[in-house]
Structure 1
Amino acid sequence: MKEAQIELRLWRQFATLAEELHFGRAAVRLHMTQPPLTQAIAQLERLLDVRLFDRTKRSVQLTATGQALLPEVLDLLARAQALPEHARAAAAGELGRLRLAFVSTVGFAQLPQWLRGFRESYPNVRVELTEATGDVQLQAFARGEIDAGFMLHATGFAPAGLARQLIAQEPLVIALAEQHPLATAPVLRLDAVLAEPLVIFPRRIVPSLYDAIFALYHAAGRSPQVAQEAIQMQTIVNLVSAGLGVAWVPESVRQFQRPGVVYRAVHRVKRAPALPGCETSLVWREEGRSPSLERFIGFVREQAGGRSDTV
């Protein structure tokens, strides 16, 4: 049997009568006369096919069914009353959901602090976090599964087709095992580094950065000796600690204190090719931006130092 659609007005009349237990007083509160209220309660009982009130000439009392229903009705009315304010808050980006993806490197530094600050400023925005590499994020954008993402890329090579806010620029440093012969040098010579086996991420993960690293080797007349590939930076560093090779990593990875691994800057000599750097950007699709996403973009822009280089 198809359930009847019961108007909010009937629920409000039921709740008022349940509180007053007097048709006359309830009618006054509802700004109506008593006969229409009596008819409305009878209509509600017919729609529900239950008896809500026991009536005599001298008293009105809730039935057991009415008593069980009253808390739910009061909750319904309270939520209905809050809807206009919720709508205004949602339109202002102060209420809603934000689906955010991030690469592991941003999790070492900025992300925890920023999320804490954003949640303190906008406690009614539910942030759903997903750790994902750049290629996975692009797929998620295409399927409409995320609203924004923190991506790593080579300097000046942000993913095409997405708006972005640059949040960090940093050099690459070399991660190497603590017992490696080069580990004792405070700064490494480029030619020495290029001769070492390389642990690196697959090209599909960050194509621009992968190509920049390989271009460095080729410009120096070298061919990279890839010893092992791994997806996550933590895994790459762990493989370095096992002595499989050295790895070019963003400087922020220094904060990942893996025992048995040290990080060193690389010294570029004259006429040597330029060392690649990397950037982290907050990226999003321009179409269909939610108010909550607008708030988050503004928040991140402030935290990143008010940069105006959104593209």
Structure 2
Amino acid sequence: MEFRHLRYFVAVAEELHFGRAAERLHIAQPPLSQQIRQLENELGFQLFHRTKRSVALTEAGAVFLQESRRLLYQLEQAIQTGRQVSRGEQGQLVIGFVSSAAYNVLPPILRSFRAAFPEVKLELHELTTDHQLQWLSDRRLDVGLVRPPIDDLLLQVQTIFQEPLVLALPDRHLFAQEPIISLKAIAAEPFILFPRSLAPGLYDQIISLCQRAGFSPTVVQEAIQMQTIISLVAAEIGIAIVPVSLKNLQRTGVIYKPLQEETPQAEVAIVCRKLDVTPTVQRFLDLATQMTKS
């Protein structure tokens, strides 16, 4: 039995007329009658009572009609789902992101993607850059928002956002009222920083910025997440140099000041496996790239 046999049967059952059913199906009447006979022989029971003047469903035929409609509906749903998945419009996308991306590019990208592709289920994981790279290697992530550089030939990496660095100070700090601060003025201050292994690109930018000002920062405390660093600044454990978008965190007890020196641009990049760009991943990449260019 093939699904076309079910379509033929449903057409005849709904029309109760072989001629009209044949017109509806765009086939000739004799082949249609033959197909219904073959279906009945294969099923082992009669579907229709036929006379020269009328066609009527048997009791078994009426039950078979209900089940046939259900099967055809499920087939149509399966076809539609397959088409949507093939176009990247349905399925699941597992996304990793560094914590600081939650204060700049991540929210607008997610809003736009959910609006454009509501049938795609999003699974989000806040992870450091090094953990995202491991999860991508383990195929636990589909795409990530990381801090470059990324040196892995198996990964596709594209910078989608850049921002300057600023100084995060406790609001009761000596320099809290200064409109702009020189790095040399804070050379002796205790610094809060993250371990280099978590985001070596951003770490090296911060250290190089300080070294160009003539000092190496005295790191008194390390923290993994940017929001934890800001919390420690609020607790007056030290000061920190952070991406400017961290101002969106709005933590009580912390103020942000521009630096007198020109700072490097902290970057956020989107990354995925080169050989595993599914239609859904490509949709996400295209949308993220388009949004951050505008």
Of 180-189 and 217-226, more deviation after overlay is shown by 217-226
- 1:74 alignment counterpart: 72
- Alignment pair present for 1:229 and 2:217: no
Other structure's SS at 2:167 match: strand
**TM-score normalized by the length of structure 2:** 0.79
Query: Any gaps of 5 or more consecutive residues in structure 1?
Result: 1-5, 269-273, 307-311
- Alignment pair present for 1:59 and 2:56: yes
Aligned residues: 285
Other structure's SS at 1:204 match: helix
* Deviation, structure 1 residue 289: 2.3
Q: RMSD of the TM alignment (CA)?
A: 3.3
* Deviation, structure 1 residue 199: 1.7
- 1:266 alignment counterpart: 259
Which residue of 11, 21, 25 corresponds with 2:6? 11
Tell me: CA distance 1:19–1:168, structure 2 relative to 1, closer, same or farther (3 Å). Answer: same
* Deviation, structure 1 residue 253: 0.7
Measured in 2, the distance between the counterparts of 1:256 and 1:221 equals 30
Contact 2:8 / 2:32 at 8 angstroms: preserved in 1?
no
Contact 1:101 / 1:137 at 8 angstroms: preserved in 2?
yes
Of 63-72 and 238-247, more deviation after overlay is shown by 63-72
Which residue of 276, 279, 304 corresponds with 2:292? 304
Between structures 1 and 2, the one with greater helix share: 2
- 2:198 alignment counterpart: 205
1:263-300: CA deviation from partner (whole Å, max 9, x where unpaired): 112223xxxxx744411122233323233433433333
Other structure's SS at 2:107 match: helix
Tell me: CA distance 1:229–1:21, structure 2 relative to 1, closer, same or farther (3 Å). Answer: farther
Contact 1:238 / 1:258 at 8 angstroms: preserved in 2?
yes
- What does residue range 130-279 of structure 1 map to in structure 2 within 5 Å? 130-153=125-148, 157-161=149-153, 162-218=155-211, 222-268=215-261, 275-279=263-267
Tell me: CA distance 1:299–1:59, structure 2 relative to 1, closer, same or farther (3 Å). Answer: closer
Counterpart of 1:304, as a letter, is T
1:199-252: CA deviation from partner (whole Å, max 9, x where unpaired): 222222101222332344455564533332222211221121112211111011
**TM-score normalized by the length of structure 1:** 0.75
Identity across the alignment (%): 38
Tell me: CA distance 1:24–1:131, structure 2 relative to 1, closer, same or farther (3 Å). Answer: same
- 2:278 alignment counterpart: 290
* Deviation, structure 1 residue 136: 1.5
Measured in 1, the distance between the counterparts of 2:291 and 2:265 equals 22
Contact 1:23 / 1:38 at 8 angstroms: preserved in 2?
no
Tell me: CA distance 1:68–1:91, structure 2 relative to 1, closer, same or farther (3 Å). Answer: closer
Contact 2:97 / 2:125 at 8 angstroms: preserved in 1?
yes
Contact 2:183 / 2:210 at 8 angstroms: preserved in 1?
no
Measured in 2, the distance between the counterparts of 1:33 and 1:260 equals 80
1:26-56: CA deviation from partner (whole Å, max 9, x where unpaired): 566553242431331342x35xxxx795858
